[in-house]
Structure 1
Amino acid sequence: KTPLGWHILRVVKIEPAATQTFEQAKPQIEQELAQQAAIDRLEKLGNKVDDALAGGAPLADTAGKFGLKVTTVAAADTNGADPNGKPVALPPGKDEILKTVFSTEQGDTSRISQMQDGTIFAVRVDKVIAPQVRPLAEVKDKALAAWQAEQKRETASKEAEALAAAVKAELPLAKAAADKRLTVTPSPPLSRDAQNAAPAPPALISKLFAAKKGDVVTATDASGAYVAQLKEIQIPENPPDTAITGLSDQLAGEARVDAAGEFTEALRRRYPVEIKRDALDRMF
C-alpha cells in the first residue's frame, strides 16, 4: 500500500543473495564493534560529566577530572566571528556548538550534548554582550569599499542595458560597442552543462539558451556587467551516448513525477478527502 492506494506486484526474477565468509566480513565487523564500543564509552563518560556539572562542579575542573579539552573564546557572534570579524578557533562541529552557546543563559553551563560522530561537549557562557552598532571609525573603510563596489555595479548595469538597447539590425553589437570605446570578445561555443568553465556567468548563459538567433541579452554579477548577442545556435548531429543517456534518464524521471502528480490529483478530485481537525487534535 502506498499513498496512491493498493498495488499488486509480480516477482519475475530473484537474484541469489551474495554472502561473505567470516574472514571476509571480519574487518568490517571489528570496525563496527570498535566504533560502537567507543560510542558507548563516550555516552557513559557524558553521563558522568553531566552528573558532575549538575552537582555544581565548575566546567574547567570537571573537564580536567575526566581528561576533556577546554577551549576558551573571549567573544563570538552567531557566525563564529570575534569582534573584529575574524573566525574564532572552535573545535569541529562549530554550528552545533554555537547553537548551544546562544541558547545558554549568562552564567549558566549547558548540559552535555552529543554530536552525530559521538563527540560530547558542554559550554559555559560567562557574559552576554548585547548587540550593538559598530562605530563608524571601525567600519568606515569596509563600508566605503562596499558602497563604491555597489555604485560601480549599478553604473555598469545601466551601461550594459544602454548598449543592448543601441543594438539594431543595421547596428550590430560589435559596432555599437566600438562607438562606446568598448571591445567585443567572441565566445567559444557554450553548453548548458559547462557553465563553470565558461567565460561568462551562469545567468548570462541561461539567458542565451532562452534567446533566439540575433537576440541581445544582459546579465550582472559581482564581477561586472555583460552584454552578449547570440550569433549562432549549433545542434550536434551525433551527441555523445553519455549526454543522450543522461537526458533520457532526466526526462524519464520528470515524466514519472508528472504522471504520479496528475494521477494523485485525479484521485483527490474523484475521492475528495475531508480532514476532521478536531478529531486529530483530540488524538494527538
Structure 2
Amino acid sequence: LGLATAGPLARTVADTALLLDVMAFSTPGDAATLPAPPAGYFRACAGRAPGPLRIGVLPRTEGQHPEAALACRRTAELLAGLGHHVTDAPPYDPAEYQPDFSVLWSVLAAAVPVPAAREALLLPLTRWLRDRGREHDAVRLYTAMASLSATARALCHRYAHFDAVLSPTTDQPPLPIGSLTDPDDPERTFLRMLAHTPRTPLANLTGQPSISLPLHRTPDGLPIGVMLTGRLHEEGVLLSLGAQLEQARPWPRHAVRPLAARPERTAR
C-alpha cells in the first residue's frame, strides 16, 4: 500500500488523455496490474460525451475559503445544467484516516535510501518525517496499513451511489511559496499541509481516479481547482466529464515561453 502514483499534468483534458495513454501500462514486478484500456484508449474518451451521470457534492468544511466553496457550487450548477443528476454527498472526516495516513507517510519517507552524510541536506520536514518513521515498528506499520484498507473500503461503499464526487481540490486559493512552512516546527508544517488538502488523500487511499480542473478564478485572477473523483478504473468517465466541462467553461491557456537560444560554440 503506497500513497502516490504517477499521473499526467497538462493544459487541456485532451492532452491529459494522450499522456495517460503513454503512461498507463503494467510491467513485470508491479504489485498490481492495470485493466485493459477503454475502447479507443483514453484519448477517445476525451472526445465523447459522458452521458448523464450521478454527481455527489461533498459539503463545505470548516475553514474552507469562500472562493473554494464558490468554485464548487458553480461547478455543481454547471454540471446540473449539462444534464447530470447533482445531489449532496455524505461528509467524511479527515480524522478517519489521518493518524494511520501519517504513520504510512513517515515510514515511506524513512524507507528512501539517503547516505548518512547527506541526511543534513534534506528539508526539515523530510528529516522530521524520516525520524518519525524510524520510531514505528513493523507491527505499527501493518496495523496502520490494515486500518487504511478498511477505511478505503468504507469510503468506497459510502460513495458507491455516485459516478463522481465533486469538491474543491484545496481549501484555499493558491498560497505564496513557503507560506505553509514553519522553519522552526516541521510538525506544524506537516499539519498545515494536511489542512490545506483534506480531501485529496481520499483518492490516495482508495486508488480511485481523480481529476482537478481550473474552472474558477478569484477576483484577483488566481485559479481555483475543483476535483472530481470517479469509480475505480473509470478514468475514461472522468476524462469525458472533464472534457465536457472544459468545453462548457474553457479556462485560460497560458502560452509556453520559448527557451532562450543557446549560443553556438565556435570550433577551435
Query: TM-score by structure 2 length?
Result: 0.21
Structure (1 or 2) with the greater helix fraction: 1
The structure whose Rg is larger is 1
Query: TM-score by structure 1 length?
Result: 0.20
Q: Which has the higher contact order (CA 8 A, sep 6+)?
A: 2
